[in-house]
Structure 1
Amino acid sequence: MEEHASWRDANMSAPAPVLSARAIRLLAPGRGEDIQVRISAPATGDNLPIIIFSHGYGSSMDGYAPLADYWAAHGFVVVQPTHLDAKRLGLAQDDPRRPLIWRTRVEDMKRILDDLDAVTQWVPGLEGRVDHGLVAASGHSFGGQTTSMLLGARMLGPDGEGEDMSDRRIKAGILLASGGHGGVDLSPLGREITPYLNSGFDHMATPALVVAGDADQSPLTTRGPDWFADPYRLSPGRKALLTLFGAEHMLGGISGYAVTEATDENPARVALIQRMTLAYLQSQLLDDATAWSSACEALAMEATPLGKAKGIIGR
């Protein structure tokens, strides 16, 4: 009963009403079809910061409600595109766009930033209440890899170099179960099905919170769960790390309410991610000097903590 109560407190007792619109279409010439977007926002408030969220492989704009709902209820405008790999789009395996979906995903996120006025006008009463200068990007799994490139990570070619696809409009990022270093750290399966994961983090300088599960065993790498902390360890700039005890790839169920793909369903773990990501966003976008440090201290003082956090550091 206690676990159920904590889940309800986090998701059903929102501090502010949330407005949401879905299936907003952005023109995307050359993509093959328009970008469909969901946007969620608090019903009140001005100068609202923005989070653009990139879903994991096969998901869509309708996924990750435990995060989108929570962030919106706490004062953020959350914009979620549907990428071409979404199962509901039914892209054929031999579709010529598939090998470059990793690039199209990044372009989807940038197009949203280009067309924010067009996106926000679809939510009644939101126009004029959004601060376009306060933008964070977040993503889970493949979406984390997409987000990392917006923060400065690069897809490395045979010569060890990669194109800079970062976007300076993004002030901070949150990477959730996002893959680590590519190359020799990829398994044969990883090199076969996900060659786009040859990521390098030497240039990922934008501030970011990396969230990783210490039981996330991925078939894409020859390493263990520590692979998912690479974006924290291998990148320059100010980074923070939240390690979740016993968490597998879905981190307790962030991809939706009562979802079947979560092998480690744990509402309390999801609630922790909600609190910690909110504190991080408040510290980075809203200049709340104590939000992140206070959240870290509170986590460390819990009798049976569900994870551990390393404070924001500069390198």
Structure 2
Amino acid sequence: MNDSTHAADAAPVLSVRPVVLPVPGRPVDLEVRVSAPVTGTGLPVILLSHGQGHSHHLSSLDGYAPLVDHWAAHGFVVIQPTHLSSTTLRLDTDEPDAPLHWRSRVLDMSAVLDRFDEIEDAVPQLRGRLDREKVAVAGHSMGGHTASMLLGSRLTDPTDGSVVDLTEPRIKAGVLLAAPGRGGDAVTEFVAENYPFFLGIDFAEMAAPALVVAGDADASEHLTVRGPQWHADPYFLAPGPKSLLTLFGAGHGLGGVSGYDVAETTDENPERVEAVRRLTTAYLRSTLHPGDPSWQEACADLAATPTPLGRVDSK
């Protein structure tokens, strides 16, 4: 990859957890983890939404270290909320959006954006170092659904039939990692009965720039009848500008992005994780800083590899 993402350029990282943000009406306080390089100013921000994995202690603010460590070491402030759907909370609730809490997940991110001053007070080493105009969202699996809604996708609320638009204009770009695809006849009968909000997903208005990362071996048979191609829907069914990184042989864990040692990773592959780290870093750097060549160079490096780990398409 390009020199700007080489390990030699990695900065020391500080990480603080939990930063507690009281949110009125939320069953529990919103807890976040904040990771950042120890030096630098004008730092762009990545909000990271966790998935619904089986690793009980790595599905929230303690997860995704392979990505978080790399992003923070290469100039980003990464903020990881613990959503209400996290298995670490074990909430007993009859809220209509439970158990996946699709709506509150999105609102958590807007709450974080509203509370940057409080976050800087809680982590004084960050004070005055954030570029609040350069904010991206990233999400894995169910977190990819959360990210897609923040970027402009819609869904039909199964409780009343209304179209839900939770687009967050303060977020300028996104990365969707093994995200869900379209609803309708693409989802399994189990999903239609238990998670009916998936039925009305619509990417037609997801206009913000985004990189969709999908594994060509990620069948997700419990979720979709369409096979691995389902995870590429946010690229094909949304307007540009979009890019699609298809990882050859990758399953839902994309090589192991959710943690350094997690049982849910069925396709453990350090080289694949490294490709995800470098390509997502390059994409966000170039998207948030127009004119930066990192993404173009990273794509060229990927294509030039004798046995590439994947391919990139763009529109």
TM-score (norm 1): 0.92
Match of residue 166 from structure 1: 167
More divergent stretch after superposition (27-36 vs 287-296): 287-296
Q: Which amino acid aligns with 1:80?
A: Q
Find 2:304's aligned residue among 285, 301, 305: 301
Q: Percent identity?
A: 55
Given that residues 39 and 120 in structure 1 are in contact (C-alpha distance below 8 angstroms), is that contact kept between their aligned partners in structure 2?
no
- Residues 88 and 278 (structure 1 numbering): CA distance in 2 closer, same or farther, change over 3 Å? same
1:103 aligns with 2:90: no
Q: Output one character per residue of 1:21-50: Cα deviation in whole Å (capped at 9) or x when no partner.
A: 001111111111110100000000001000
Given that residues 213 and 243 in structure 1 are in contact (C-alpha distance below 8 angstroms), is that contact kept between their aligned partners in structure 2?
yes
- Residues 160 and 292 (structure 1 numbering): CA distance in 2 closer, same or farther, change over 3 Å? farther
Q: Which amino acid aligns with 1:109?
A: M
Q: Partners of 1:186 and 1:21 in 2: how far apart?
A: 38
Q: Give 1:81 deviation, angstroms.
A: 0.1
Given that residues 210 and 241 in structure 1 are in contact (C-alpha distance below 8 angstroms), is that contact kept between their aligned partners in structure 2?
yes
Q: Partners of 1:279 and 1:39 in 2: how far apart?
A: 21
1:146 aligns with 2:146: yes
Match of residue 194 from structure 1: 195
Match of residue 209 from structure 1: 211
Q: Partners of 1:39 and 1:231 in 2: how far apart?
A: 28
Match of residue 25 from structure 1: 20
- Residues 88 and 180 (structure 1 numbering): CA distance in 2 closer, same or farther, change over 3 Å? same
Q: Which amino acid aligns with 2:305?
A: E
Q: Which amino acid aligns with 2:77?
A: V
Q: Give 1:107 deviation, angstroms.
A: 0.4
Q: Which amino acid aligns with 1:105?
A: R
Q: Partners of 2:273 and 2:8 in 1: how far apart?
A: 15
Match of residue 134 from structure 1: 134
Q: Partners of 1:65 and 1:99 in 2: how far apart?
A: 25
- Residues 276 and 200 (structure 1 numbering): CA distance in 2 closer, same or farther, change over 3 Å? same
Given that residues 252 and 269 in structure 1 are in contact (C-alpha distance below 8 angstroms), is that contact kept between their aligned partners in structure 2?
yes
Q: Which structure 1 residue ranges, 5 or more long, are not aligned? A: 1-9
Q: Which structure 2 residue ranges, 5 or more long, are not aligned? A: 54-58
RMSD across aligned positions (CA): 2.0
Given that residues 97 and 103 in structure 2 are in contact (C-alpha distance below 8 angstroms), is that contact kept between their aligned partners in structure 1?
no
Match of residue 64 from structure 2: 64
Q: Give 1:98 deviation, angstroms.
A: 1.4
Match of residue 51 from structure 1: 46
Match of residue 86 from structure 2: 86
Q: Which amino acid aligns with 2:126?
A: L
Given that residues 53 and 138 in structure 1 are in contact (C-alpha distance below 8 angstroms), is that contact kept between their aligned partners in structure 2?
yes
Q: Give 1:196 deviation, angstroms.
A: 2.2
Q: Partners of 1:120 and 1:243 in 2: how far apart?
A: 37
TM-score (norm 2): 0.92
More divergent stretch after superposition (35-44 vs 117-126): 117-126
Given that residues 217 and 225 in structure 1 are in contact (C-alpha distance below 8 angstroms), is that contact kept between their aligned partners in structure 2?
yes
Match of residue 234 from structure 2: 231
Q: Give 1:120 deviation, angstroms.
A: 2.6
Q: Partners of 1:234 and 1:162 in 2: how far apart?
A: 18
- Residues 123 and 276 (structure 1 numbering): CA distance in 2 closer, same or farther, change over 3 Å? same
Match of residue 4 from structure 1: none
Q: Partners of 1:54 and 1:168 in 2: how far apart?
A: 17
Q: Which amino acid aligns with 1:124?
A: P
Q: Partners of 1:278 and 1:65 in 2: how far apart?
A: 14
- Residues 258 and 304 (structure 1 numbering): CA distance in 2 closer, same or farther, change over 3 Å? same
